Chain A
Amino acid sequence: MTASPLSHKALIATLCVGVAVLLIASVAVGYAPLDLGAAIADLAAGRQTLPALVLAELRLPRAILGAAVGFSLGITGAALQGLMRNPLADPGVVGVSGAAALGAVVAFYFGFSSAFALALPLGGLIGAGLSTAFLLTLAGRGAGTATLILAGVALSSLSGALTALALNLAPSPYAALEVVFWLMGSLSDRSLAHVALALPFMAVGWALVLTTGRALDALTLGEDAAASLGFPLRRVRLLVIGGTAMAVGASVAVAGAIGFVGLVVPHLMRPFVGHRPGRLLLASGLAGAALTLGADIAVRLIPTRPELKLGVVTALIGAPFFLALLRHLKVDGE
């Protein structure tokens, strides 16, 4: 696949419009009928009507989180693939997703989540924070990219094992089932409190990652050439790993594990940005937001009970799509 003639600004503008349309669609779609115009008018006027409450407490948080989680997964997937120069890297590879999931499961297992609603995402954030601190310590000591990946794999394995242990020792099958469902990833029944909890971490994560664009471009030539061009690689690693950990940790903490977005979206967007890793960041973030919003709308439109989990839908869309992409990659000789 080769670069599209579409200019970068036009691409970003198109993606922004797409995300905006999907945000509106996400707010408009739901199980209960909602007069969107009336709901917005009531909300703006400060009237505590049912439509205003549905909009503020259910639809808006779900749409905002869909966009923010998707943006986080897309941008960090692109950054990690650029940093590691490996098209198979995804946000899960640094182990923060697994650690965030474990943190949430621990909160659930010890009953904190029934004591107060935000215990689950807080547990996730603590898990993500601890694993981030571990990775940043390693990166700060000068660990190379390969060491960081291996540390991430070890973290993922340990988190997975401890999550399995929690499921194994769950007090009842229902508790285990609830944990498994949570792990599948979903945006339903999230509130503005979830948004307020996760969004600041995500925004800082995005900002950190976006500062590395030029360094990721230089890394196309390998670490030695990038360093000779004046880029401080240790700092770049810290920024990408730290930013990823914050954005993805916060995402998993509020939405559970949503697979394949971070892996597939950079591949989708790469031909449109001339394969430049730096330009890929924003494009992947926006495309990730669009994909996640679209999948979350699909979840609500597909008439199944219980509702399909978002992570299940993204994996069902993502996996076959990824296989198709791999065929192209082989043809391109990458």
Chain B
Amino acid sequence: MLEARHISVNRGGTLVVRDLSLAARPGEMLGLIGPNGAGKTSVLRALAGLDPIAAGTITYGGRTADEIGRRVLGRTLAYLPQNGRIHWPLPVEEVVALGRLPHGAASVDDAVERAMDAVELAPLRRRSAGTLSGGERARLLLARALAVEAPALLADEPVAALDPYHQLQVMELLRATARAGTAVVAVLHDLTLAARFCDRIALMKDGRLIAEGPPAAVLTADRVGEAYGVTVERGEIGGEPFILPWRRHDRAPDRKEPEA
């Protein structure tokens, strides 16, 4: 289990995350949502061990990053950055195989095959990554993260660059990954996708967690209105919820000045 207790993150002298506690459990998909600037990416980066925390503790199966060591941490969690890039035009399968680096060599093994099959990129395995469309590239980067086969997967806006078909595909895939025993944390902006696919939602605003729980309990009109400054239309199709942001409030939601 990936657990943050009372963490604060300081960026450039500003507290961008304040006293936040969160747990990602194996087999569960946690959606991290909130307006721009709420601190979602900062939380994810701290969970991934990329940025130091100013206060609190983060543990991975009960141990801190220092206790685990950088190398083992690379196998313990997979991190999919926002707007990830592939800087050299490697063949698709070799990009996916980079996910095996924490396990030794970056060779095309069974885990790489599983990851490519999951995102339906196996037919393009020899294609240069430089020739892929934006959506294909996003799926390739997800496959690279899946290939780590880590107990925890942290994905920062994994569907941001995708068309509706592939948004649904990626969300189904993330949920299936969670069902297979991985603790999945995904930063999301689409409230319907968050409501439909996440087991729990953590709603952030101004660096704080303002609500956490099952989607139906967190994504209420009041809370969404408070966080985002919009009214929402809600409903159900086939027993599954949808939430549409419908109208902006007359004025933007109060945003606290960050504390130094």
Contact = CB atoms under 8 A, between A and B. Distances in A.
Interface in A311-334: 332-334
Contacts of B70: 230-232
Contacts of B73: 230
Interface stretch (A28-36, A99-107, A145-153, A271-279): A271-279
Contacts of B237: none
Interface string B93-121: 01100110110001000000000000000
Interface of A: 2-3, 85, 214, 217-222, 224-225, 227-232, 270, 274-277, 332-334
B245 interface: no
Contacts of A85: 87-88
Contacts of A334: 89, 130
B48 interface: yes
B101 A217 contact: yes
Contacts of A221: 84-87, 95, 98, 141, 144
Interface in B65-79: 70-75, 77-79
Given A217-B98, A221-B144, 8 more contacts: A3-B91, A219-B87, A224-B48, A224-B79, A225-B81, A228-B50, A228-B78, A230-B101
B49 interface: yes
A189 to B, nearest CB: 41
A142 to B, nearest CB: 11
Nearest to A85: B87
B217 interface: no
B137 to A, nearest CB: 11
Contacts of B148: 229
Interface string B166-201: 000000000000000000000000000000000000
23 contacts: A2-B128, A85-B87, A217-B101, A220-B98, A221-B85, A221-B86, A221-B98, A221-B141, A222-B81, A224-B81, A225-B81, A225-B84, A228-B48, A229-B98, A229-B101, A229-B148, A230-B71, A230-B72, A230-B73, A230-B102, A231-B101, A276-B88, A332-B130
Which of the listed residues B48, B91, B98, B141 has the most CB atoms from chain A within 10 Å of its own CB? B98
Interface residues of B, number: 36
Contacts of A229: 74, 98-99, 101-102, 148
Those 4 A-B pairs whose CB atoms lie nearest each other, nearest first = A230-B74, A228-B79, A85-B87, A275-B88
B16 to A, nearest CB: 16
Contact of A227 (B50, B106, B130): B50
A332 B127 CA distance: 12
Nearest to B78: A228
A108 B8 CA distance: 57
Contacts, number: 88
Interface of B: 45, 48-50, 70-75, 77-81, 84-91, 94-95, 98-99, 101-102, 106, 128, 130-131, 141, 144, 148
B89 A222 contact: no
A277 B94 CA distance: 12
A333 B130 CA distance: 7
A88 to B, nearest CB: 13
Contacts of B130: 332-334
A18 to B, nearest CB: 24
Contacts of B99: 229
B90 A222 contact: no
B87 A222 contact: yes
Contact of B94 (A227, A230, A274): A274
A276 B97 CA distance: 11
Nearest to A2: B128
Contacts of A274: 90-91, 94
Contact of B88 (A220, A225, A333): A220
A214 B106 contact: yes
Contacts of A214: 101, 106
B60 to A, nearest CB: 13
B176 to A, nearest CB: 22
Of B45, B48, B87, most A-chain CB atoms within 10 Å? B87
B81 A220 contact: no
A272 to B, nearest CB: 13
Nearest to B72: A230
A220 B99 CA distance: 11
B181 to A, nearest CB: 20
A333 B134 CA distance: 13
B48 A230 contact: no
Contacts of B128: 2, 275, 332
A217 to B, nearest CB: 6
A217 B96 CA distance: 12
A334 B130 CA distance: 7
A231 B42 CA distance: 20
A293 to B, nearest CB: 28
A225 B79 contact: yes
B212 to A, nearest CB: 24
A275 B50 CA distance: 27
Nearest to A86: B87
A230 B150 CA distance: 12
Contacts of A222: 81, 84-85, 87
Contacts of A217: 98, 101, 106
A217 B95 CA distance: 9
Contacts of A277: 88
Contacts of A2: 91, 128
